[in-house]
Amino acid sequence: MSRYSFSSTDFTSALLGLLPRGRAWPKELSSVHAQAVSCFAPTFQRSCDAALNLLIDTFPATTVNFLAEWESTLGLPDPCSGISPTVQGRRNQVVARFSNTGGQSIQFFTSFALGLGYTVSITQYAPFRCGQSACGQQLGGEDWFFTWAINSQVNTVTYFRTGQSAMGDPLASWGNAVLECEMSSAKPAHTILQFHYS
């Protein structure tokens, strides 16, 4: 269903229609009086457009004006965000935290990382066991039962995207600080998490 937005001309005509009748109040759009009244129309048009975009703007994945409110609701920004995060990165963090239902599976952590904008794979470790492990595998101790690793690129690059990024964002930003911080806070408390970059 398409949304109808009123133009400045529509609002100018509506404002002129509200004026009293008579020769002192000309209604022609070419008159000086109509041109003076038309200076108010763009304000009404912006207000109308903002009202139409309110539902889109309150949704976490497409928010712009309510981003700070979503962040304060979800406990963001935090040290994971860095000094000057991009709007796209901030929005990714809001969506990842908002949709995070918790879990301990490999699928959960890869999906959580993908929501943050990182493509990762996960390696699970186990201590060396005769009959199950192969020659050349690491020995490890009992701690290997609780150790796992996230494998990612050395520097994941986030590019400026029209419709996702905002004015003032860099054309490209890179780093894995958000990935490390968010995954470290989401991991089960009894596990040891490592990060491997290639």
Pairing verdict, β 147-152 and 121-124? antiparallel
Sign of CA dihedral 170, 180, 105, 197: positive
CA 141 from centre of chain: 41
Distances 141 to 24, 25, 126 between C-alpha atoms, Å: 94, 90, 8
- The model's pLDDT over 10-61, given as tens digits with 9 standing for 90+, comes to 999 899 989 888 888 888 888 888 888 899 999 999 998 888 888 888 999 8
Question: Which pTM does this prediction carry?
Answer: 0.65
- The model's pLDDT over 102-144, given as tens digits with 9 standing for 90+, comes to 888 999 999 999 988 889 999 988 887 777 777 777 777 777 8
d(CA 116, CA 180): 11
Q: Tell me the pLDDT band of 81, cut-offs 50, 70 and 90.
A: low
- Residue 1 pLDDT: 47
Measured over all CA atoms, what is the biggest interatomic distance in the chain, rounded to whole angstroms?
A: 102
Torsion angle in degrees (nearest 10) through CA of 50, 81, 61, 189: -140
Q: How many CB atoms lie within 10 A of CB 58?
A: 13
CA angle, residues 57, 63, 69, in degrees to nearest 5: 100
